[in-house]
């Protein structure tokens, strides 16, 4: 990945860290809901994410919020958010910071 894409990926991650799971006071990136961020050289972004459970109350709104906020970055032309439950989310995906925040350490 070139430097421009790395910088753009850092900005995308920064945006993702501003989105919080409404039921847990931790952002979706530290919570481990973001499985992958792919940036191509043409302003296209693909984000693979999950939810804490398949029947999560924000199953429709959270991926839309991710798409809208990432799409707001000037260099982004297209954002594709893919929701997956394979592998299912578990606490092991959380960052140490998130586990500390939730008292799980």
Phi, psi of 65 (to 5 degrees): -65, -40
Query: 45, 76 in Cβ contact below 8 A?
Result: yes
- Domain-located, residue 19: yes
Q: Provide the domain count of the chain.
A: 1
In this predicted model, what pLDDT tens digit does every residue of 56-105 receive, in sequence order?
888 889 999 999 999 999 999 999 999 999 999 999 999 999 999 888 87
**What is the residue range of 66's domain?**
3-88
Report if residue 93 sits inside a domain: no
Mean of pLDDT over the chain? 91
Can you tell me the distance from the alpha carbon of 45 to that of 37, in angstroms, rounded to the nearest whole number?
A: 7
CATH number of the structural domain spanning residue 25: 3.30.300.130
Looking at the domain assignment, is residue 96 inside a domain?
A: no
Contact 71, 34 (CB under 8 A): no
Q: What is the pTM of this model?
A: 0.91
């Amino acid at each position: 990945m070139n430097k421009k894409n790395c910088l753009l990926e850092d900005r995308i991650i920064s945006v993702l860290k501003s989105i919080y799971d409404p039921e847990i006071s931790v952002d979706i990136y530290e919570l481990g809901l973001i499985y992958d961020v792919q940036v191509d050289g043409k302003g296209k972004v693909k984000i693979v994410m999950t939810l804490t459970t398949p029947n999560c109350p924000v199953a429709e709104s959270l991926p839309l919020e991710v798409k809208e906020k990432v799409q707001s970055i000037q260099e982004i032309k297209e954002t594709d958010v893919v929701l997956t439950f394979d592998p299912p989310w578990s606490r092991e995906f959380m960052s140490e910071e998130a586990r500390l925040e939730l008292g799980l350490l």
